[in-house]
Amino acid sequence: MLSPEKREQFQKEPAQAIEDDIRAFVRTSPLNRMPSTRELVVFDEPLVRFADGDDPLYDQYKTIISAAHLTPREALALGLDRAIEDLPARISVISWVLPITGETRRSNRMEKEVPSRRWSHTRYYGEEFNDAVRKHVVEVLTEVGALAVAPMLQPYFRTMSNEQVGLFSNWSERHTAYAAGHGTFSLSDGFITKRGIAHRCGSVVTDMPLPPSGRTYTDHLSNCLFYVDGSCKACIARCPAGAITEQGHSKAKCMTYLRTIGYLPLSEEYKDESSVYGCGLCQTNVPCEYRIPTKVEKMRKG
């Protein structure tokens, strides 16, 4: 239940109210804790931005990804079991980035074959928490009278593949993060934000009119050093599966590796676990781990 003050804030300054609310939830939720060491949080302070639900980018995604990738209007209408024509004139998308903590990044940096236990737990319990954020945001928006749907929590959410992009889902969290101006893609395929590439992200579609945060980059690869000046390539050396080359990221090799280590834990560290989750070695011990590396380079050059 929201306090009367909070309700008033949602009326007067909805964008700030949502951002404050997500930050408070990440800071205080007991679910944002490592199960083994409850005092350690899974994610740091989140980044929150907004996209226009009718941004023409979403129509481009129908071609860049697949016709099956939903626009925000489709995602909201399907989730509410309404016709698209019955939706309000303005649609917005709330996009958040949950930066992985320094402790977890450091632990994964030392690994060469399988992710650290903390990284693996961030993949598993962290995504459970990300789902809790999705659910929480939908509940709060509904309480203040808005329509809201978290596409990844909907029964219609699915992952599939096509010849053009290989594996994809019908709601890509990172393509919404791109639309909201959080950052860009990269050689390793990871999404580089101002808090770096080591994060998880999520989103909710709503009819609450929120000001789009805007984008400052020139294209979808602007934050990666390799695509800016041909340098870096640190992620290529980090990948134990040989899934990253100058031609980009092989999802097939990456997924095969994730499945292999998932079912056959290699490290002593996992002897009490039933499974290892994720990998993310390409997202730690690399220049884009904590920051947008192209900006650092530009500053250094004057």
Q: Which residues bind ligand B12 (CB under 6 A)?
A: 64-65, 123, 130, 152, 159, 165, 167-169, 171-175, 178, 185, 188-191, 197, 199-202, 220, 249, 251, 254-255, 258, 278-280, 282-283
Q: What values do phi and psi take at 192, rounded to 5?
A: -95, 115
C-beta atoms surrounding 173 within 10 Å: 20
Can you read off the two tokens belonging to residue 296? Answer: 């650092």
In eight-state DSSP terms, residue 154 is S
CB atoms < 10 A from the CB of 171, how many? Answer: 23
- DSSP track, 29-74: -TTSB-SSSTTSBSB-S-EEEEEETT-THHHHHHHHT-TTSPPHHH
Interface with ligand SF4, residue 257, by CB under 6 A = yes
CA distance 42 to 281: 17
Query: How much of the chain is in helix, strand and coil states, percent to nearest 5?
Result: 40, 15, 45
Sole window of 42-50, 130-138, 185-193, 208-216 interacting with ligand SF4 (rule: CB under 6 A): 185-193
Residue 78 contacts ligand SF4 per CB under 6 A = no
109 touches ligand SF4 (CB under 6 A)? no
Question: Does residue number 171 form part of the binding site for ligand SF4 (CB under 6 A)?
Answer: no
Select the span of 28-36, 79-87, 183-191, 204-212 touching ligand SF4 (CB under 6 A): 183-191
42 binds ligand SF4 (CB under 6 A): no
Q: Does the footprint of ligand SF4 cover residue 286 (CB under 6 A)?
A: yes
Tokens representing 34?
A: 């490592």
Nearer to ligand SF4, 138 or 279 (CB): 279
Spatial distance between the Cα atoms of 119 and 261, rounded to a whole number of angstroms? 13
Q: Which is nearer to ligand B12, 7 or 233 (CB)?
A: 233
Q: Which of 51, 98, 243, 276 binds ligand SF4 (CB under 6 A)?
A: 243
Residue numbers of the site for ligand SF4 (CB under 6 A)?
A: 186-188, 224-226, 232-235, 238-239, 241, 243-244, 249, 254, 257, 279-282, 286-288, 293
